[in-house]
Amino acid sequence: MNHRFFLSHYSGDKNIADIVSRTLKRITLNQIVPWFSSDESGTGGLKPGNLWFNEILDKIQKSKAVVAILTPNSISRPWIYFETGIGQALEDCEVMPICIGIDRSKVYPPLGLYQCYQLSDYRSFKEFISKLLGKFDIPFDEDAFKPILETALTEILGIKLEEKEDEATPKVVEIIDDLRNHIDKRFLEILEKPAMNRTQNDLASADANIRTNENDDYLASYTVPVEINLDDHKSKHYIEIRYDNTFGDIITNLYFIIEEYVQPYRYLQSWILREKKSRRLLVIREVGDLIPARIIFKPEFQLEIISLPQSYDP
């Protein structure tokens, strides 16, 4: 029997939904069959003549997870909140937001109360896939899955997304009002409080799926924006800085974002990382794998990757 979960997404992010769906089908040998409304395959998506609202409601009710694809395109779309609100109301359904091209710390309630996966590197992608497979009691075989996941992540990070600053902020209030009859009352008590003032008691009163301080690794990490300003590619991403990351780990993660545009092992030769405000170049050579990333990459940093016309020479 195939397991099903629901991909909540904005139609403009169909290419991301396609990659996630294709990847999960491949690594599970079709044991997991994602459903999303814009799926153009013969067995998925909304079909002509279907009552679309009833179809979406039926698919969510039959799902064990609702994965919300959050991008600059979708973060202010009411339907994302509506579909995840239905999922939250179900007893055996878990809501799992994934952030692509946006900072997970800027995701507003109710989705901001869940553990959001910042899909910026292999490790975060692996953790998301492993958690989702665990929901269906499917073992995560990293040796077999890693090449597939790396290819999928490269495809996802290669999609250019335009960030729309502050567009989501005023719409969240409207969304909450619109969905007031669809979201559990316990949720509403939390949503009506400013996100910065939420206490541990507030979070504890929410559903068990909402993140708490028990997830130390999640709470110990933070994201830093990085702009790609190469000669032939411009885009913006958010990289996750974890407690156990080294400087070398972050440089490796950044390489996989730009690998289509630079040759391997060319840091300080064809490209370099710079802190935007100070314009300071981040130059660390042989000891990069020994220095904790959190020492170098501060939460307030704004980074950019730039091309080098010639090898760096101090």
Question: What's the CATH number for 221-307?
Answer: 3.10.20.90
Contact, 59 vs 35, CB < 8 A? yes
Predicted confidence (pLDDT) per residue in 47-71, tens digit: 665 667 888 888 999 999 999 999 9
pLDDT at position 161: 79
Least confident interval from 70-74, 75-79, 219-223: 219-223
Residues 6+ apart with CB under 8 A from 88: 95, 110, 183, 184, 187, 207, 209
Closest CA to 298 of 235, 247, 236, 230: 247
Most confident segment among 1-5, 161-165, 259-263: 259-263
Chain mean pLDDT for the chain: 82
User: Which CATH number is correct for 3-157, 3.40.50.10140, 3.50.50.60, 3.30.460.80, 1.10.3720.10?
Assistant: 3.40.50.10140
For the whole prediction, is pTM greater than 0.75? yes
Assigned token pair, 5: 């979960």
Where do the domains of the chain lie? 3-157, 221-307
CA pseudo-torsion sign 25, 76, 107, 151: positive
Residues 75-95: b if buried by 16+ CB within 10 A, e if exposed: bbbeebbbbbbbbbeeeebbb
- pLDDT tens for residues 139-195? 999 999 999 999 999 999 988 876 554 444 445 545 544 544 444 444 444 444 444
Whole-angstrom CA distances from 234 to 136, 161, 226 are 38, 10, 11
Burial-class residue 65 by CB neighbours within 10 Å (0-12, 13-18, 19+): buried
CA gap 186, 168 in Å, rounded: 23
Residue position matching structure tokens 């068990």? 208
Model confidence at 199, in pLDDT bands (50, 70, 90)?
very low
How does residue 91 score in pLDDT terms, banded at 50, 70 and 90? confident
- Name the token pair of 150: 């790396």
Pairing label, strands 94-99, 65-70: parallel
Q: How confident is the model at residue 286 (pLDDT cuts 50, 70, 90)?
A: confident
Q: How confident is the model at residue 19 (pLDDT cuts 50, 70, 90)?
A: very high
Q: pLDDT at position 4, please? A: 84
